[in-house]
Amino acid sequence: MARILLFIFAVLLIAGLPAEMALAQNAAPAFDVEQASRAYIDTLQGADLEKSNQYFEGGYWLILWGALVAILVDLLILQSRLSARFRDWAERVTVRKWLQPALYALPYVIAGFLFTLPWTIYTDFFRERQYGLMSQNFGSWFGEQMIGLAISLVVFPLLIMAIFAVIRRAPKTWWIWGTGVISIFLFIGLLLGPVFISPLFNDYSEMAEGPLRDRIVAMAAEYDIPADNIYVFDQSKQHKRISANVSGVGPTIRVSLNDNLLERTDPAEVAAVMGHEMGHYVLGHSWRTVLILALIVAIGLFIVARLAPQLIERHGAKWGIGSIADPAAIPLLSLILTVYFLAATPAINSLIRINESEADRFGLDTAKEPDGFAKVAMRLSEYRKIEPGPVEEMLFFDHPSGATRVRMSMQWKADHVENPVMVNPGKLEKE
């Protein structure tokens, strides 16, 4: 279940696009949207195209294998009666029922981290380095994994303690109240994440004064987005992906750009990216995402509330579990949720993709940089398949594909730019 919580936070923290762009060169006598789009899309060819496709398509299998690894780990913890031992330890430490689930969560999180560590090392370190997407050495990467573990050891016990409190007090309707508990934790994550979590992984500094900052401030002011502080963070130490976001809630709202965005792109591209990110804020995507995710979580907890008691009745004696209110049942709840979230992956991807598409349109209207936006999409193709089939895009893409974004940019250009001209962007340089 710790992995489920981190996954949900991760979904919420998905803030936007990365970026890069193209220099206009040759004007065509007539502007054809498809021809203009192909001029960008076809810049990705040969070995670069094959590498991008292989990396992204391999990720489809990682979704399945990652879920299977999580399921096997929870089964191991159940079948070996480690879960019962964790529960017994918590009961020896304290007789307070409300505190026992939180204590149980400590060894459970550590065991889950250790059991899945080989898989995590392969998928998040070696595979990233294999495709040239990782800037860190193993020591730096592992240090960040330990920071993530420390965060889990604080957040997950608190969440588990709250959920088991509602299970004890409302055994028939706990899944409803549990959804509310998770929603509160998600809100707290949105509120505190930019201030207390993000700085644990990156250094944030004020963006230097200048025309680019002035343009970002002006764009933000147009939509009443607080932009007193615009931060640049040093994500190049981790990877070369381009990123920016408008994060936080209320007093913690902030505009942030990573250093890759400033170093690898020009001002038109930065404006395109920031227009997109501001779209998420103005269109209320964080709140919409929380509400829809709450619905998805509610369905998952309802399924858990129906299946878990039946499985405990059948196998509980073997596992050392007395009831669903027993903290030792946590791996079983996690296992069911893992299967459910795997099945819900297309729906979650579609939720995010719809938000991203809306933010794309907003960004085009705000920044008015269609060619910058098109090259942004092409730079993302370094690690995202550029032209998937429609079913493939629906199932596996949590953002619109690069081809979809380029065509949207060129259509916007045809509709809004007087006397639009064709651009020959040339081959994206390797950096």
Q: What is the pLDDT of residue 361?
A: 97
Is residue 417 pLDDT above 80, yes or no?
A: yes
Q: Does residue 424 surpass a pLDDT of 90?
A: no
What confidence tier does 246 reach under pLDDT thresholds 50, 70, 90?
confident
Contact 387, 402 (CB under 8 A): yes
CB neighbour list of residue 215: distance below 8 Å, 6 or more residues apart: 267, 271
At residue 14, the pLDDT reads 40
- Percentage of the chain exceeding pLDDT 70: 92
CA torsion sign, 63 to 400 to 367 to 290?
negative
Gap between the Cα atoms of 153 and 79, Å rounded:
23
So where are the chain's domains? Answer: 2-416
Sign for the pseudo-dihedral over CA of 212, 214, 219, 224:
positive
Tokens of 246: 């408008």
Do the beta carbons of residue 244 and residue 258 sit within 8 Å?
yes
- How far is 36 from 370, CA to CA, in rounded Å? 11
pLDDT at 162: 97
Read off the pLDDT of residues 194-203 as tens digits, 9 standing for 90 and up: 999 999 999 9
The answer to whether 353 and 398 are in contact (CB under 8 A) is yes
pLDDT tens-place string over residues 178-224: 999 999 999 999 999 999 999 999 999 999 999 999 999 999 999 98
Residue 63, φ and ψ in degrees, nearest 5: -60, -45
Which stretches of 277-394 are assigned E, i.e. beta strand?
Answer: none
Q: What percent of the chain has pLDDT over 90?
A: 83
Residue 258, phi then psi, degrees to nearest 5: -85, 160
Average pLDDT over residues 63-90: 97
Indicate the pLDDT class of residue 95, thresholds 50, 70 and 90: very high
pLDDT band at 1 (very low <50, low <70, confident <90, very high): low
Confidence of residue 3 (pLDDT cuts 50, 70, 90): low
List the one residue out of 127, 116, 122, 133 whose CA is nearest residue 76: 116
User: pTM for this structure?
Assistant: 0.88
| Model pLDDT for residues 109-125, shown as the tens digit of each residue | 999 999 999 999 999 99
| Token pair in block for residue 419 | 């006397």
From CA 155, how far away is CA 151, in angstroms rounded? 6
Integer Cα distance of 117 and 216 in angstroms:
41
